[in-house]
Amino acid sequence: LRTQLDLYVDGPSGGHAASSVDYPWSQGTAVMGILNVTPDSFHDGGEHHDPDDAVERAREMVAAGVDIIDVGGESTRPGAEPVSVEEEIDRIVPVLEAITSLDALVSVDTRKAAVAEAALDAGADIINDVTGLDDPEMRFLVAERDVPVVVMHSIDAPVDPDNVVEYDDVVGDVIAELTETVLRAESAGIPRENVIVDPGIGFGKRAAESFELLDRVDEFHALGCPVLVGHSHKSMYGLVDRDSGERGPATVAATALAADRGADIVRVHDVPENVAAVRVAHTMRNAGDELP
């Protein structure tokens, strides 16, 4: 896949990389492993802050069957310490340079165009923008580099428990707002086949609404784009499995259900378990073709 990508990026035609490459999500649900190179991410903050630890973790993810590694240098958690462009670049570029030779695509989770540009220059393949391309500079960069971009739905106000949005129909409302996002991307010269939509699980949504977004994930295909869900270890599970407080097993169950309902990419922390969940969901639908 990486050769294919390089060919289309550097090949004679210098053609459209994203629209001509057979991405992992076109063959079933792809697994995106979260690699936060931050001291304060909500679930794994500090665990891979050291570049060597991060590279080791990336190798483990690849060995476990991950399709994409999502590298983040700034937490999106409400109240997280803002990070300068320089600091975010310092955090992620050494890791990106070390992992882009591994057998997985690499995405960069950033809201800053300057960081995204440095990441693409360091070999990243995909931009993951939780603001949904709010920044015109980011739209210009993504169009110019012709790379896939994840556009996540969020709310305009800061994402914290006090900002609860009143949705009539959370799925219909989020699809309507993501439609605007996709049209804005297209008007900036980003072809729709490069856009991956994401309902923004937990970003300004109540727990019940986050579960509904997962349950009705297939409806997001009305936008004509692959659909990514980022449900891993999020607070909604705390209301389901109250006793243990453990969110890992609940995440894996949700991954299997979301994959079965049509999610194209699942963004998760625990790769082996969630790769297994995706494979089970796929096999249950295709046992006749896959198993003796």
Q: Which residues bind ligand HH2 (CB under 6 A)?
A: 34, 36, 38, 41-43, 72, 75-77, 109, 128, 130, 150, 152, 198, 200-201, 228, 230, 267
Least Cβ distance, residue 181 to ligand HH2 (angstroms):
12
234 has catalytic annotation: yes
Q: End-to-end distance of the chain based on CA atoms, in angstroms?
A: 28
Place of tokens 């997280």: 80
Least Cβ distance, residue 233 to ligand HH2 (angstroms):
7
The DSSP element (H or E) to which 70 belongs, if any, is: strand 68-72
Least Cβ distance, residue 77 to ligand HH2 (angstroms):
4
Q: Which residues contact 159 (CB under 8 A, 6 or more apart)?
A: 76, 78, 203, 204
In the complex with ligand HH2, the residue whose CB is nearer, 99 or 152, is 152
The one catalytic residue in 112, 216, 247, 267 is: 267
In the complex with ligand HH2, the residue whose CB is nearer, 128 or 255, is 128
The per-residue b/e assignment along 148-163, b for 16 or more CB within 10 angstroms, e otherwise, is bbbbbbbeeeebeeee
Least Cβ distance, residue 70 to ligand HH2 (angstroms):
7
In the complex with ligand HH2, the residue whose CB is nearer, 43 or 184, is 43
112 has catalytic annotation: no
Q: Which residues contact 10 (CB under 8 A, 6 or more apart)?
A: none
Contact 42, 30 (CB under 8 A): no
The one catalytic residue in 111, 145, 205, 234 is: 234
| Closest residue to ligand HH2 in the complex (CB) | 230
The residues annotated with a catalytic role in the active site are 234, 267
